[in-house]
Structures are given as C-alpha cells and as structure tokens.
Amino acid sequence: MEISRKFWVEQRSHAIWAVELHDHTPARCYGPLTLDEVDDDLIESFDYSTGGVGWIRENEEHFTALVPSVPEIPGT
C-alpha cells in the first residue's frame, strides 16, 4: 500500500487540511490547520485520525492539493 501525506485546500472555505492518503484515497486527516502549521517539516507530526475523513471523501471534488508557491531549487 502506498501512503502519502499532502496538504489539501477546501475551495469553498479555503480551510487547509493535512490528508493521509492510502493508495491515493483519503484515509486519515488533521485539520483545519492554521497557516503556521502548513509546513512540510510538520506534516509527519500531526495527530491524524479518521474523524473527518468521511466528510473529505464525500466532498473531495471541492479540494485541491496545496502546491508550494516557491518550488524547491536543486542545489540551493
């Protein structure tokens, strides 16, 4: 099973969630987050749970993955 963790933005409210995906399907989540919590260094430390994941699955079409505004540049 492939497990990944991503930041997702709910388009209607602009709330940001950390979502744990199992084989590209939301399995657990944490949020909504404050802007200070949206940090790749923190994404592994959140207390993920299944509590809100049903709502995220039902509304997945209203979410988009948060893409860093400044890409990492190799060698810097």
Give the global pTM: 0.86
Q: For 14-29, what is the HEC assignment?
A: CCEEEEEEECCEEEEE
- Among residues 58, 3, 61, which one has the least CA distance to residue 27? 3
pLDDT of residue 59: 97
pLDDT tens-digit series, residues 39-74:
999 999 999 999 999 999 999 999 999 876 555 566
CA angle 53, 31, 37 (to 5 degrees): 145
